Structure 1
Amino acid sequence: MFKQFIGWKFLLVTAAVLIIVGTIWYVSSLARKIEDEETRKVATWVAANRELLQAPDEANLNLAVEIITNNTTIPVIITDREGHIIDSRNLDTVRISHNPQYIEDELNTFRKQHRPFIMEIDARNNLYNYIYYGDSLILKQVRYYPYIQLMVVALFVSIMLIALSSSNRAVQNLVWVGMAKETAHQLGTPLSSIEAWIELLKETEGNELMATELTKDVDRLKLITERFSKIGSVPQLEERDVIQQVSNMMQYIKKRAPQKVVFTMHTQEHEMPAMISPSLFDWVIENLLKNALDAMEGKGSIDIFIESHPAHLIIDITDTGKGIPKANFEKVFKPGFSTKKRGWGLGLSLAKRIIDEYHKGRLTVKWSELGKGTTFRIWLRK
């Protein structure tokens, strides 16, 4: 499903890029054609003005007047040789009345857009007018259209990606919750049966040690069942001493770890109360410690640092294992990502879900270096 989602993202982005590139190319070509057409219209308009100045026969005069009056879209500013504005057409009259500098600003813009036409007034006296013109409103709209479409396409793609991501996350959540609750349900029945057999063992003399050890294993299975049953539901947070919780889990893992692994807890406080779900929080610490053990391959050290701050507390779990490449800092929390041959890639993903969603905290990779080790950080609100 994840690969399929990535495939859809790639297809959407590719389609969007093709649409944008194709549209920009087409609109740019269209804009050049419109610009050339407007240049020819201005040239015709200048020629018509020249005809009026030369006072031709009545037929040509009527044609020139018609050409001049038909220009209602292309803005034009006429200046003399010194650059003084003589006349203008098709400018915003409202802005002219409110801003005396408006025509000058437009003239400067026109000078940058197109080369002016020169219209001879009196060659003997060296009198010439310069005709400056700008882009019509239609041409401006055509040029701005790709950018508007770009924003629309970007918005569309963003909405689609968010929708697909939300849908994918919702499906994943359903799978998580369904698997967890089904596991808890399936474990419940044999546990009840095993407890009954343990009671029978206790009644038979000589089986006390066996019954005691089996009871420990059953209690452990009960704890696992409780953890799975709480996935997908809102856990009941309780005020607990985090130092004691972490210490208990450290001692539990220490008994099952190789002797060459040294566990050390560092804290300046005797007690750090915080609102947690004890069974789920223990699961997180257990996963992080087991992950550290796997990374060290039988020897090294695991240091746990617990710091208290006014509104929150921080738990850093540092190992001296093989480390994580920086590119995988975020990937290690993705479901299914694992560097172990027999790993399912669910431990860290579950741990992050428990801390981020159920405890409203943060679980991140604070530091890691290949060959030197890794530090996972838990941030909890008090």
Structure 2
Amino acid sequence: MQRNPYRHHRQHWKLFLFLFAAMIAAASLLYTNYLTKSLSKSERTKAEVWAMSTRTIVSLPDVNDEFISFIYAVRDSLSLPAIITDDTGDIIFWRDLDSTRTNIQTEASDTLSSKLVYDPGYFAKELAEMQRRHAPIIIELETAGQKWFVYYKDSDALRQLRIFPYIQLSLIAIFLIIAYTVFNSIKRSEENLVWVGMAKEAAHQLGTPISSLMGWLELARATFDTEDSTLFDEMERDVYRLEVVADRFSKIGSDPHLSNHNIYHVVKEYMDYFRVRTSGRISFELEGDQHVEAMLNVQLFDWIVENLLKNAVNAIESEGKVHISIHENIAKEEIFMDVSDTGRGVPRSNWETIFLPGFTTRKRGWGLGLSLTKRMVKLHRGQIFVKESEVGKGTTFRIILKSNLRYEPTQIG
């Protein structure tokens, strides 16, 4: 069963962050909607008062000047874009529209003969917008049942209030994205510092017993006269391997030094070491270009090969084959290294997630091998991915590195 012990904790705080953002968004939308409806009702009332004052002015022309002045003052105080039409839809009156569009001076050779006209396209557009937004306010005149229709549109304040929550939500989303990115970055930095510290401390602790083992081996050779013993040779190789591993951990967190090496020879040397320490039911094959070179840190590249070989062996349940091929793409100046096994295979849905820290299919696995492998490949300016895999048949990982110096073949003749 696949498991990731880190993902469970990450999802908790991500869910909390999402719910918190959803609550803010919902509260903002609800409150803004309440304000919008209240302001819309207020503007409707203002439009109705303006319509009634207009009806009073039109229907009662004989009232005293003081009352008419009062009605005009009330109407003019109600600033609201509006248009009045008659029964046939012709525009009778308007207010608070764009003055540059409602009064246009025609061109004429004689300034005295110029006159003001109106932009019919602008009026038609404004009237259509008002009709779409609000139902008209009807003014019934006293003359033969004639009716006028008052149309109005929202004020600038109301229009801005309608779009405000979307601006607010956009700013909140940007803030959450920034907070999420910063939190993730800080969290990764803290985790990296912990891992680096643990790795360096482990390397420091291993240094003394490894040195002692090397001394004891030398003493054992001298005591038992075993200069040609294969057993002691393999023990020395294992102790040397421990020294290499300790050195790897001591360099974690530092930029690796890369130098030019023959990839085929580096891989072959480690495969020969690994082969004798693995079950005889698993065969190992290495083929390809034996002269291609790239910039490598041998210790880290050995670690890459080690992780991929261990991953392949763990995927093979009983017996099978591990095959490594190395080829150069001369046109792209790249080196392809494919590591194939005849193991369980990986479902396509997991081709990307297998490189995440904590992902493992083993009951006792930490899920760090392929994640570390990907990081070390990146340190070599390369990339690694699942080239192909089929459940029950096996998997092929591909590493792509930039080639360095190519050998020049000897010309004959």
TM-score range, shorter chain: 0.7 to 0.9
Amino acid in the other structure paired with 2:384 = L
In 2, Cα distance between equivalents of 1:9 and 1:281:
36
Which of 231-240 and 175-184 deviates more?
175-184
User: Does the 8 Å contact 1:13/1:157 carry over to 2?
Assistant: no
**SS in structure 2 at match of 1:256:** coil
Q: SS of the counterpart of 2:279?
A: coil
Map 1:121-160 onto structure 2 (within 5 A). 123-124=143-144, 128-160=147-179
**1:80 Cα offset (Å):** 4.5
Structure-1 residue corresponding to 2:256: 235
* Aligned equivalent of 2:319: 299
Distance 1:95 1:184 in 2: 81
Q: Verify: 1:71 aligned to 2:78, yes or no.
A: yes
The offset of 1:96, in angstroms, is 6.6
Equivalence for 1:339: 361
Give the Å deviation of 1:284. Answer: 1.0
Q: Which residue of 1 aligns with 2:218?
A: 199
- Over 3 Å counting, the alpha-carbon distance change for 1:367 and 1:46 in structure 2 is farther
Hey, what's the Cα distance between the residues in 1 that align with 2:291 and 2:91? 83
Counterpart AA for 2:350: N
Q: 38, 43, 50: which one pairs with 1:45?
A: 50
**Pair 1:352 & 2:352 matched:** no
Q: Deviations over 1:118-138 (max 9, x none)?
A: 4456854x8654322111111
* Structure 1 residue identity aligned to 2:73: E
Tell me if the contact between 2:262 and 2:290 (Cα under 8 Å) persists in the aligned partners: no
The structural deviation recorded for 1:257 is 3.2
Aligned to 1:189: 208
Q: 1:238 Cα deviation (Å)? A: 1.3
The alpha carbon displacement at 1:94 in A equals: 5.8
Three-state SS of the structure 1 residue aligned to 2:322 is strand
The answer on 1:247 being equivalent to 2:272 is no
Higher relative contact order (CA 8 A, sep 6+): 2
Change (3 A) 1:102 1:272: farther
Computing the radius of gyration from Cα coordinates, the structure with the larger value is 2
Structure 1 residue matching 2:362: 3-state secondary structure = coil
- 1:102 and 1:354 map into 2 onto residues whose CA distance is 67
| Alignment match, 1:368 | 389
Percent pairwise identity: 39
Residue 20, structure 1, aligned to residue 25, structure 2? yes
Q: Distance in 1 between matches of 2:170 and 2:384?
A: 35
- Partner AA of 2:166 in structure 1: Y
Question: How far, CA to CA, are the matches of 1:359 and 1:76 in structure 2?
Answer: 71
How much has 1:93 moved relative to structure 2? 4.1
Asked if structure 2 preserves the Cα contact closer than 8 Å seen for 1:253 and 1:290, the reply is no
Structure 1 residues 329 and 127 mapped into 2: Cα distance closer, same or farther (>3 Å)? same
Q: Which residue type is aligned with residue 374 of structure 1?
A: T
Cα distance 1:368–1:123, how it changes in 2: closer, same or farther (>3 A)?
A: farther
Count of matched residue pairs: 378
Measure how far apart 1:106 and its partner are. 2.9
Cα deviation for residue 353 of structure 1 reads 1.6
CA positional deviation for 1:20: 0.3
- Whole-Å separation in 2 of the counterparts to 1:111 and 1:105: 10
Deviations 1:63-114 (A, max 9, x none): 4312320122x32133445545444322344677899554443333222211
Unaligned stretches of 5+ residues in structure 1: none
Q: 1:215-270 CA deviation, whole Å, 9 max, x = no partner?
A: 21221112212221221100001122223333333333333333333434454x44
Is the 1:48–1:65 Cα contact (8 Å) retained in structure 2?
yes
Contact in 2 for aligned 1:258/1:298 (Cα 8 Å): no
Compared CA separation, residues 303 and 27, structure 1 to 2 (3 A): same
Going from structure 1 to structure 2, the CA distance change for 1:366 and 1:135 (only over 3 Å counts) comes to farther
Mean Cα deviation higher: 93-102 or 280-289: 93-102
From the superposition, tell whether residues 149 and 88 of structure 1 become closer, same or farther in structure 2 (CA, over 3 Å): same
From 135, 138, 153, the counterpart of 1:115: 135
Hey, what does 2:400 align to over in structure 1? 379
Give the TM-score of the pair, scaled to structure 1.
Answer: 0.88
Q: Alpha carbons of 1:212 and 1:366: their partners in 2 closer, same or farther (altered >3 Å)? A: closer
Contact 1:313 1:380 in 2 (8 A): yes
Q: Counterpart in 1 of 2:107?
A: none
What's 2:15 paired with?
10
Provide the rounded CA distance (Å) in 2 between the counterparts of 1:70 and 1:26.
Answer: 29
Shift of 1:293: 0.9
Conserved? CA contact 1:325–1:370, under 8 Å: yes
Does the 8 Å contact 1:314/1:377 carry over to 2? yes
Query: Partner letter of residue 97 of structure 2?
Result: L
**Structure 1 CA distance, aligned partners of 2:11 and 2:103?**
57
Quick check: 1:5–1:164 contact (8 Å CA) kept in 2?
Answer: no
Question: Residues 78-97 of structure 1: matches in 2 within 5 Å?
Answer: 78-93=84-99
Distance, in Å, in 1 between the alignment partners of 2:341 and 2:201 is 34
Check the 8 A contact 1:306/1:316 in 2, yes or no.
yes
Which position in structure 2 is the counterpart of 1:170?
A: 189
